[in-house]
């Protein structure tokens, strides 16, 4: 791979210690289990792109959105433990965003189509919760509290027939945000 191609790739580097010290591990794409590369993680640097980091292997557990920037002590800043175990690259999306949310599992009940950020589903759609969704275009972050706060979940294009069946039964989503090119 030429150096010009390397510069175009998404890249995140994790460090065992604060302030980019100690052993490091560089990711250019998805990594399902980082435990063999680092025993802990206290800082990271996102050189290009956006990533979701997870505190369990195989993209499970608590999720945190990381965009281009330096995070010298991001673990304590976000209230995370020191065990980042997996990371997923978020592909850049240029185009429209579209997602349908449904009141009940299997795309049943009240339905609303979103094409932009929604700060509060209760205010905009009089929904207190939704149990399934179909992400038709773009990549989205869904948050458990209004105004893009609280725990989050990364949603790629696809059908999500039941949040309970994919391990999200304890979360209620109250706001959604499009992952835009401006994050890169």
Last residue of a domain, one of 70, 90, 110: 90
- Output the tens digit of pLDDT for each of the chain's 184 residues: 433 344 468 999 999 999 999 999 999 999 999 988 998 888 999 999 999 999 889 998 889 999 999 998 865 555 566 678 999 999 999 999 999 999 999 999 999 999 999 999 999 998 888 999 999 999 999 999 999 999 899 999 999 999 887 766 677 899 999 999 777 6
Q: Domain total for the chain?
A: 2
Last residue of a domain, one of 34, 64, 90: 90
Integer Cα distance of 115 and 36 in angstroms: 40
Same domain, 80 and 35: yes
Domain limits for position 45: 3-90
Please state, as a whole number, how many other Cβ atoms lie within 10 Å of the Cβ of residue 29.
13
Last residue of a domain, one of 65, 90, 115: 90
Same domain, 16 and 49: yes
Same domain, 104 and 176: yes
pLDDT at 37: 93
Report the CATH number at residue 33. Answer: 2.60.20.10
What pTM did the predictor assign?
Answer: 0.86
Same domain, 73 and 144: no
pLDDT at 80: 61
Same domain, 155 and 118: yes
Please state, as a whole number, how many other Cβ atoms lie within 10 Å of the Cβ of residue 7.
10
22: which residues sit within 8 A by CB, 6+ positions away?
Answer: 15, 16, 42
Same domain, 178 and 140: yes
């Amino acid at each position: 791979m030429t150096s010009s191609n390397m510069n175009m790739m998404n890249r995140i580097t994790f460090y065992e210690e604060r302030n980019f010290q100690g052993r490091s591990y560089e990711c250019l794409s998805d990594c399902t289990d980082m435990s063999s590369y680092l025993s802990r993680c206290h800082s990271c640097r996102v050189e290009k792109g956006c990533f979701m980091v997870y505190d369990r292997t195989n993209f499970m557990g608590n999720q945190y959105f990381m965009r281009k920037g330096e995070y010298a002590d991001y673990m304590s800043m976000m209230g995370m433990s020191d065990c980042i175990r997996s990371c997923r690259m978020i592909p850049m999306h240029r185009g429209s965003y579209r997602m349908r949310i449904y009141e009940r599992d299997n795309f049943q009940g009240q339905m609303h189509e979103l094409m932009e950020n929604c700060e509060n589903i209760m205010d905009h759609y009089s929904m207190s919760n939704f149990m399934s969704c179909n992400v038709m275009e773009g990549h989205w972050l869904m948050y458990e509290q209004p105004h893009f706060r609280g725990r989050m979940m990364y949603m790629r294009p696809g059908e999500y027939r039941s949040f309970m069946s994919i391990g999200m039964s304890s979360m209620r989503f109250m706001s959604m945000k499009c992952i835009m090119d401006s994050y890169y």
